[in-house]
Structure 1
Amino acid sequence: MSNESPADAPLVLDEALASFDALWSPRIVTRVNDYDVRVAKAEGEHIWHVHDHTDEFFLVLDGELRISLREPGGERTVRLPKGAVFTVPRGTEHKPHAPSGAAFLMLEPSGTPTVGDRHDDVPDHVDATTGHALHT
């Protein structure tokens, strides 16, 4: 048996992901300074949204995540296979989607809402949250 407290113990991301089934409902796995490290599962589409004051970092852990972006030159979609990273710049309207399912890690300031600062109505399948505690 270890004398490590849960905050001092290593966390296995596969085990963290296996501890919940909810889609588009991130779990906070740790904090780094004033940032949350969150993991989430996704399938289907999120919503168009924007974070006015922060970038949003994605690391795909499993599957494939696509992120559509509305930029001054038009709309484009980036494809992120397992192992890929991408940062959505602050102020960029974007919509993550995972047609075949994905698991990913995000890094963003604590308290950042998953549906951004400006968005349309949030459908029932998208959790409007600032991240949930991880219960493993």
Structure 2
Amino acid sequence: MTDITSPKQIAAALTEHWSPRVVAEVDDSYIKVAKVKGSLAWHSHENEDELFLILKGHLRIEMEQGSVELSEGEMFVVPKGVRHNPVAEEECHLMLIERKSTLHTGDVVSEKTRSLAEQLRPV
């Protein structure tokens, strides 16, 4: 396979906030990119961890036991079952690594929830 992908460039080209796109697959996981601003929703993923890697900007991940602040180049794994709410005061570009079974907004459905079909559509 010779496909080279730039998550930074793909994230920068996105036009919607909180609408992740799948850019690659690794075994049973999807690699996704997203452009975010504002707050997503308090939610959890009961059986899956979720990795956030900041490509541009700053992201706060609020959790019931405290928050983490992430800057460009930093990453954090939200453990399975932990309620969290990603928040970006200004536009932020990020990469996510999640198992294919991970629902976009976990155990919560809101106007920002995106189906897997929406996440798999071309950029």
Name the TM-score, length of structure 1 as normaliser. 0.82
Q: Which residue pairs with 2:46 in the alignment?
A: 52
Contact 1:115/1:129 (<8 A) preserved: no
Q: Which residue pairs with 1:42 in the alignment?
A: 36
| 1:133 maps onto 2:120 in alignment | yes
Q: Which structure has the bigger radius of gyration?
A: 1
Q: Which residue pairs with 1:77 in the alignment?
A: 67
Task: Report the number of matched residues.
Answer: 122
Percent identity (aligned): 30
After TM superposition, the runs of 4+ consecutive aligned structure 1 residues lying more than 4 A away are none
After superposition, what is the alpha-carbon deviation per residue over 1:53-81, rounded to whole angstroms, capped at 9, x for unaligned?
Answer: 011101000000110001xxxx4111001
Unaligned 5+ segments in structure 1 are 1-6
Correspondence for 1:112 among 102, 109, 121: 102
Unaligned 5+ segments in structure 2 are none
- Whichever structure has more helix as a proportion of its residues is 2
Alpha carbon RMSD of aligned pairs, Å?
1.6
